[in-house]
């Protein structure tokens, strides 16, 4: 008949191949979901973000997000932001500024950031077009990105507002106790 050890060896080989395939699939799924860092999309966006001064001066429209690593809404919105940035790469700059970094305090004060996520919208000339406050859906972000790239005014969304051309003396000075990190 045949070698009685052959079927057992074949079964063992099949099990090893199946285990290797399962391990590779698990590794691929782990990597696609951000590895050990659930906020991986937010980290990637922040790392690849151009400098604000460069973005506002390079002739492309710019979307600036004020965020924090601990912000649940910012982390939840990050994959949609990353997807929108990827679709408009080369036509739109996406800049992330962490409100916990003291380097960005002048911008936090200048744009009146008192909650996050807070988006600031700029045209190709670096002129401020408006702001959007609060978490946004993937559709909202895509609509914002497409409008900026097309040179259209920002769409009317809940929590969105155009900027006005008030004279500096008409604007109340920022309140020092109100910061993006305040929860009262």
Q: How confident is the model at residue 135 (pLDDT cuts 50, 70, 90)?
A: very high
pLDDT tens for 22-68 read 888 888 777 665 555 444 788 888 889 999 999 999 999 999 999 99
Q: Same domain, yes or no, for 25 and 44?
A: no
Domain boundaries, position 5: 1-32
Q: Same domain, yes or no, for 57 and 97?
A: yes
List 56, 74, 77, 129, catalytic entry:
74
Nearest to 154 by CA among 136, 174, 180: 136
List 42, 56, 68, 71, catalytic entry:
71
Which CATH number fits the domain that encloses residue 81?
3.40.30.10
Asked if the structure places residue 170 within a domain, the reply is no
CA angle at residue 28 from 68 to 96, to 5 degrees? Answer: 20
Q: Do residues 113 and 99 touch, judged by C-beta distance below 8 A? A: yes
Judge whether 74 counts as a catalytic residue: yes
Phi/psi-derived region of residue 172, left when phi > 0, alpha when psi is between -120 and 50, beta in every other case: beta
Judge whether 49 counts as a catalytic residue: no
Q: Same domain, yes or no, for 136 and 67?
A: yes
Q: Is the pTM for the entire model greater than 0.85?
A: no
Q: Same domain, yes or no, for 51 and 6?
A: no
Give the C-alpha separation, 97 to 68, whole Å. 8
């Amino acid at each position: 008949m045949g070698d009685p050890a052959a079927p057992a060896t074949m079964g063992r080989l099949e099990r090893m191949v199946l285990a290797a395939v399962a391990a590779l699939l698990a590794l691929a799924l782990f990597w696609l979901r951000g590895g050990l860092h659930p906020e991986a999309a937010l980290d990637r966006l922040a790392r690849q973000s151009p400098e604000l001064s460069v973005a506002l001066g390079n002739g492309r429209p710019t979307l600036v997000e004020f965020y924090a690593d601990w912000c649940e809404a910012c982390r939840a919105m990050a994959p949609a932001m990353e997807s929108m940035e990827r679709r408009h790469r080369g036509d739109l700059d996406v800049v992330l500024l962490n409100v916990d970094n003291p380097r960005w305090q002048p911008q936090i004060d200048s744009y009146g950031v008192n909650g996050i996520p807070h988006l600031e919208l700029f045209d190709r000339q670096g002129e401020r077009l408006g702001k959007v406050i609060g978490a946004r859906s993937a559709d909202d972000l895509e609509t914002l990105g497409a409008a900026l790239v097309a040179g259209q005014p920002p769409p009317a969304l809940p929590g969105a507002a155009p900027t006005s051309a008030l004279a500096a003396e008409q604007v109340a000075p920022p309140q020092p106790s109100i910061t993006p990190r305040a929860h009262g």
